[in-house]
Structure 1
């Protein structure tokens, strides 16, 4: 019996460790740069990690009772916390770009609420764990188009810098273009700086290194355009809009951005799921150019997809070798675990264990039962009642179940408190 119990505890510890450590570390190890990069042997590429739509759960996300909301926040925060650290501990990118939607309802917050959730965001996404981090906003941070909040823009820019800017990385120009503000046509305060940035970039693009476009909202594509086999949900991103959001940028704006930036590739967030399409545009000389765009999966487990993820980007371009810009980048999708499936598995294991314990408890009660005397006392009558019999079995089963599970539960809590 003691040997069986010891084996059970060892198995439960192994299972918890596998589900709380191994299964979370493995995706990052699997995505190691050397596993998918195909550069010349002497190459020293520049490594970029793209993290989209963390969208931390806040007080406006769900209309749950407060205790349940706090539990969901804790679970969702722990998922983001551990994978942000595993990403940087295992892969050590030279640059990490957070591609907007830092909070879920940040655009609705007053300054105090926004500051409070920003502090929480900074605890989850500790920039000290990364080499270099660039951040630009999403529609959940500053609104969209005509409904963009200029006050939110000013607050965001005071912390993270201009929402449209260039970052030089690996002999490439990473063009962070704020399509959200460019979609505004009513307020010069909103659209002015992004338009000036595009005009400046357009004038300087001939002498610049290969450009890669980054934005929060994807570029326009005709309805029915396939996203490819790596997409988890329905196959397309169709044009749609609603309160403070729009699925894709307008056709006119998308063409202008592509023509001004002339990127060799584009990356976007917002949709939460992966999508890979090829856009066409005509440059200043009348030539038709094609640009692949990659929609980065959401990083959060609460984003409506089963497998969150992030994108890796490897850059290698040497001017003197005359390497074609189209060959100067490689990219890889990295999938994170299905956290919901892990919790479902925990639940099924618990139900199975409780059923086994109850079965053996019931057998024990049946074996230890005695013939009742002819004249029953009040206590004997109570014990002979089927309802009392079943309550006793359940009570004893629950005590035995608690005895069997508390070490594993304690181990689970320790692994979650010390997430990395």
Structure 2
């Protein structure tokens, strides 16, 4: 077949059309992918197919074409985002948990089989009480991201560290004290619409975040004592504080989580949990009588809110004896066939066998309280406190106000217990209290109480939530090892060897992760905007070394309906849908200029609206037309910028949603 051309155009000017497969064409196996991801993958595959060399002379051209289509600014930004999201949603969490592995800090003898405990403090599930003035949807996003952080970190703790026991130190909810019961209303009018059903939904939310991951990791401890999760210790956000507590609110909490005052033997140590938020009403004036609570003996009034905790402390020696003797029977494998007596007892009081001595076996005692014990003002908390590190890094200060717990109180809270309550708790818990764990402050604090018998060490555990005023949440890991003689129940350790080792495990700084995301977003916008400005205003004209004057495209304009002047040409005019007329069976290109008007060599045969530009729907082998006016260049820049943002977002957003969904 031969072709005829106008006299002023050489034969080399005829464009060669290379048809390509539509980028919307996606094979069936990819049907399960998101639409944006399928289009991105299909366009990349289409680029490779289009650039496939047909002979050895096209190899270099194809390689350059593939390089330009793969190594683009948009693809580089997408790769940056994928790496950033993987770091922020996976790497930092994995590294923080791996750094806290038990073998990294334990120092027991080689044959020791310790019992591992994780202390979790102040999760305080975010609810309408946390940020009452925060509008929607910011409030909903806060709830979503705090829950996701708690679920992800606690799941990692259970999956990677596998503690034998998990103990919560109160403040499970943030507004638990505010939600009405079936018989009471909220103490604040602004929460009057939140009924008992709302609290039950919050309870289900707590179970989903913490109980489900714990149940999935069903691994028996090496010491054979069984796994435990105890969350019955209440905090002031769960019940209130002192006489601010409503008894139905406390009864509801104990009905779902268990008794706040209890004794447990874990890892051959006796754990004594005390409801100190209720006990704190003991040395405060009774609002009903106006006198000191401890001096009121009016039997016509209901029992004061502190009565249950005070009675428990009076009977702690008996409760300890029972729990420790039961543990000794477990060691002797005598737990089967125990004879129980039959008598009427209070449902809130554990049954005590008459044949069990009231003298404990002298296991090391560990005291659990939500509110920290009293200490002198300005008592330092140590170097691990985040918000206010020690004032001096070279010497130990006896007083350091910024580094200490503030001795203060307010509505429904008190930073530390009073000296009277602190002495009452420590003295009645037993003569050998060696360790105290508390919460409430949200930051870490550690000190030795010289004012109490035995000088117990107290650790105030960090909050595990990133919404509680600390940039790096955390929890305390405790390793217990106290081997006992199964016949006598006495410890086999020589001398006064320590039986407890503690370690603060820090969790990722979620706020810093969000800041890093924001910086990456600003960088993305800046890079894509500069690229759009460059292509619109400063990019050089595309070279035409091959002599081709027409756009290289597989999409041909429909010229069959247009009328062109044919002066100076053969009587054979345009024919066929291609808009070309042949002479002797050939075709010619139409002329559309006259007089001294010079032809537009680049697109001389097309109208202005026929100039083809690159769109997301058409990826032909052509170059976009150059815009010559300032407004056209601005429009070209805006279009390229919006398109590049859309291309990046269509890939990055599905990746991000996948990472936060599959935690």
Q: In structure 2, how many angstroms separate the alpha carbons of the residues matched to 1:205 and 1:309?
A: 37
State the secondary structure of the residue aligned to 1:413: helix
CA contact (8 A) 2:101 2:161 kept: yes
Tell me the number of residue pairs that the alignment of Structure 1 and Structure 2 aligns. 403
Residues 21-60 of structure 1 show CA distances to partners (whole Å, capped at 9, x for unaligned) of 1111211111111111111111100110011101111122
Deviation (angstroms), 1:324: 5.4
**Which residue is equivalent to 2:477?**
312
Q: 1:122 aligns with which of 195, 201, 207?
A: 207
Q: 1:160 aligns with which of 238, 257, 275?
A: 257
Q: 1:43 aligns with which of 94, 98, 112?
A: 112
More strand by share: 1
Q: Is 1:278 matched up with 2:448?
A: yes
CA contact (8 A) 1:259 1:281 kept: no
**Which residue is equivalent to 2:420?**
252
Residues 345-403 of structure 1 show CA distances to partners (whole Å, capped at 9, x for unaligned) of 01101101110110111111113699xxxxxxxx9xxx9677x8657634531321231
TM-score normalised by the chain length of structure 1: 0.90
Q: In structure 2, how many angstroms separate the alpha carbons of the residues matched to 1:343 and 1:226?
A: 32
Structural mapping, 1:183-262, within 5 Å:
183-185=280-282, 186=286, 188-202=303-317, 204=358, 206-234=360-388, 235-261=403-429, 262=431
Q: In structure 1, how many angstroms separate the alpha carbons of the residues matched to 2:452 and 2:512?
A: 46
Q: Is 1:27 matched up with 2:124?
A: no
CA contact (8 A) 2:81 2:520 kept: no
State the secondary structure of the residue aligned to 1:226: coil
**Which residue is equivalent to 2:154?**
84
Q: 2:515 aligns with which of 313, 338, 344?
A: 344
Greater Cα shift, 274-283 or 87-96: 274-283
TM-score normalised by the chain length of structure 2: 0.58
More helix by share: 1
Deviation (angstroms), 1:4: 1.9
State the secondary structure of the residue aligned to 1:350: helix
Cα distance, 1:189–1:129 mapped onto 2, change above 3 Å: farther
Q: In structure 2, how many angstroms separate the alpha carbons of the residues matched to 1:322 and 1:35?
A: 23
Deviation (angstroms), 1:14: 2.7
Q: In structure 2, how many angstroms separate the alpha carbons of the residues matched to 1:356 and 1:392?
A: 16
Residues 188-215 of structure 1 show CA distances to partners (whole Å, capped at 9, x for unaligned) of 3521221122111246564341111111
Deviation (angstroms), 1:159: 1.2
State the secondary structure of the residue aligned to 2:416: coil
Cα RMSD (Å): 2.3
State the secondary structure of the residue aligned to 1:188: coil
CA contact (8 A) 2:267 2:480 kept: yes
Q: Is 1:356 matched up with 2:453?
A: no
State the secondary structure of the residue aligned to 1:190: coil
CA contact (8 A) 1:264 1:292 kept: yes
Unaligned 5+ segments in structure 1 are: 284-288, 371-378
Q: In structure 1, how many angstroms separate the alpha carbons of the residues matched to 2:635 and 2:418?
A: 65
Higher-Rg structure is 2
Q: Is 1:101 matched up with 2:171?
A: yes
Q: In structure 1, how many angstroms separate the alpha carbons of the residues matched to 2:521 and 2:633?
A: 23
CA contact (8 A) 2:77 2:524 kept: no
Greater Cα shift, 137-146 or 2-11: 2-11
**Which residue is equivalent to 1:2?**
69
CA contact (8 A) 2:379 2:404 kept: yes
Q: 1:407 aligns with which of 635, 646, 651?
A: 651
State the secondary structure of the residue aligned to 2:137: helix
Deviation (angstroms), 1:3: 3.5
Deviation (angstroms), 1:112: 1.4
